[in-house]
Structure 1
C-alpha cells in the first residue's frame, strides 16, 4: 500500500456526501418558510419517535456534537418547541421533551420533508432501498 487513498472509497465517500447534501439542501428549502432548520426538525422527529431523551441520547440522531445540540435545544426551548424536564428515574439527568407546539409543528412539516425525501428515494426500487439502508446502517454502526 502506497498511502494513496483508494479511488473506490473516495468515490463512495463523495457520493454519500453528495446525496446527503442534495437531500439536506432540498429539505432546508422546504423548512425555511416555517423558520425551522433541519437540525431542529431532526430533534423534533427523534423526540416524536421516543420522547424524553437526554442530550447524549439525542445527539447521535441529530448528527451533531453536544455543544451544538445545546445551542439548538436552547433556541427550540425559546421557541416553545421543546422543554427540559428532570428525568423521573434520575433527578440528576435532564431530558428534552417535545412540547404540544413542537408536535403540531412537526405534523405540519413531515409532509413537506417527505416530499423531498421521496424525490431522492423513489429513484430506487424497494429492494434497492432496503439494501442501501442495510449497508448504510452497517457503516454507521
Structure 2
C-alpha cells in the first residue's frame, strides 16, 4: 500500500482545510483572540463588549435583535443587559406586555467605556487586513455580510 506523500494533505486535513464552517470558526478565533485580550484588559467581558459595540451607533435595539448581533442566546443576554443596566452602561425600557420586546440603549457611561475600545478595534482590523488591498478587504466583508443575510433567522 502506497504511503501518502508529505506534500499531499491527508483526507482529514483536506476536509477541514476546505470546510466552510470550520474555516469561518478558525478565522474568527484567530482574528478575535488578540483583540479580546484588549477588551478584558479594559475591564469588560466579551459579551459586554459586544453589547456596547452593537449599541454604539444605534439609538436603541430590541433584546431579540441585540441577541442576534452579539451572538448570544436571548435569556442569557437578558440577564447580561439587566446587570449592565444596574451598572449604568445601558438603559432598558421594557415592552408593555413582554420582556423580550424590551428596548435597550447605550448610556453616556457605556459610551465612555467603549469609546477607546472602538478605536482599538479599528486599529486591530487594519492590522488583520494588512495583507489585503482595500478592494479585497471590502469584498471579504461584503461576502461575509451576504452569507450572514442568507442564513440569519427570519
Whether the TM-score (by the shorter chain) exceeds 0.5 is: yes
Task: List gaps (5 residues or longer) in structure 1.
Answer: 1-5
Residue deviations 1:38-93 (CA, integer Å, cap 9, x gap): 22122112212212211012111111120221232123123211121246xxx444
Name which of 45, 49, 57 aligns with 1:49.
57
Indicate the structure (1 or 2) with the bigger Cα radius of gyration: 2
Name which of 22, 27, 33 aligns with 2:35.
27
Whether 1:95 and 2:95 are equivalent positions in the alignment is: no
Aligned residues: 133
Whether 1:73 and 2:81 are equivalent positions in the alignment is: yes
Secondary structure of residue in 1 paired with 2:104: strand
Whether 1:108 and 2:120 are equivalent positions in the alignment is: no
Which structure is higher in strand share?
Answer: 1
Between the aligned partners of 2:125 and 2:18, the Cα distance in structure 1 is: 25
RMSD: 2.1
8 Å CA contact 1:52–1:95 kept in 2: the answer is: yes
Task: List gaps (5 residues or longer) in structure 2.
Answer: 1-13, 150-154
8 Å CA contact 2:58–2:105 kept in 1: the answer is: no
- Tell me the TM-score normalised to structure 1 length: 0.81
8 Å CA contact 2:61–2:105 kept in 1: the answer is: yes
Q: Could you list the structure 1 runs, at least 4 aligned residues long, displaced by more than 4 angstroms after superposition.
A: none
Structure 2 counterpart of 1:136: 144
Between the aligned partners of 1:48 and 1:73, the Cα distance in structure 2 is: 15
